[in-house]
């Protein structure tokens, strides 16, 4: 099994839902990976269960448009779990959108279609997974990555929920407010369509460099989303 000493840490990439991400190099091969370091010592039991489900989920998802899981390392003394994943050298879409804002330019229509098509393929693999329906539940620019060849990779399944039945719905309100669908805001049951709504919001933001709905607070944002 993998050990911490097998990898050399090159630097911090950022902080996600549960932990810090590092760029690392495997010493034996020189290949680059991303470590998601998650401290679980102070987590409540339900959070630990969510963490276990995320890791199990990642190991199941094998698709060219989903960030590939490689391994996990448990460091019991530090109560830290390290998830080793594919390194996407092209960064995420939030970096591209922020650059467009700074330079007052827009991405090409061809790029929008490219992202939309490949992200939809990733969602199709999740939504129609052979063992269960998997909702991503937090599609946003920062969770859509590009590899060194420009291929789109959907990542950060920290909020994903596995629905065991075909007609399954999930109740919990999670996700990034700008991209939350009307049924999620209402607290109603929802399924695959909420991910598709978020994908539509992503396409809009790629085209315009700003999300389709904005508000000075959550209440105003929710009202605008509900009003359409």
Query: Residue 60: phi, psi to the nearest 5?
Result: -80, -30
Q: Which two three-digit tokens encode residue 49? A: 């269960």
Number of H helices and E strands in the chain, helices first, is 6, 9
Bridge partners, 22 (sequence order):
12, 35
Task: Tell me if 112 sits within 8 A of 203, measured CB to CB.
Answer: yes
| Phi and psi based region of residue 11 (left: phi greater than 0; alpha: psi -120 to 50; beta: remaining) | left
Pick the catalytic residue: 6, 71, 92, 138? 138
* 138 part of the active site: yes
Vertex 92 angle, CA 159 and 74, to 5°: 50
Residues forming the active site: 138
């Amino acid at each position: 099994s993998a050990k911490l000493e097998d990898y050399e840490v090159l630097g911090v990439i950022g902080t996600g839902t549960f932990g810090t991400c590092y760029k690392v190099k495997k010493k034996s091969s020189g290949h680059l990976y991303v470590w998601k370091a998650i401290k679980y010592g102070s987590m409540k039991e339900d959070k630990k269960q969510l963490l276990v489900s995320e890791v199990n989920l990642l190991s199941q998802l094998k698709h060219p448009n989903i960030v590939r899981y490689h391994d996990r390392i448990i460091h019991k003394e530090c109560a830290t779990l390290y998830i080793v994943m594919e390194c996407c050298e092209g960064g995420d879409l939030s970096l591209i959108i922020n650059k467009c804002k700074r330079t007052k330019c827009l991405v090409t229509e061809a790029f929008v279609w490219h992202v939309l098509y490949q992200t939809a393929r990733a969602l199709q693999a999740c939504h129609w997974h052979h063992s269960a329906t998997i909702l991503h539940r937090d599609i946003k620019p920062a969770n859509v990555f590009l590899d060194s060849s420009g291929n789109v990779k959907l990542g950060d399944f920290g909020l994903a929920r596995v629905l065991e039945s075909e007609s399954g719905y999930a109740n919990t309100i999670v996700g990034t407010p700008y991209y939350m669908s009307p049924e999620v805001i209402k607290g109603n049951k929802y399924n695959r369509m909420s991910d598709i709504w978020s994908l539509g919001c992503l396409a809009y933001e790629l085209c315009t460099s700003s999300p389709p709905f904005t508000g000075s607070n959550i209440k105003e944002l929710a009202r605008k989303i509900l009003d359409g």
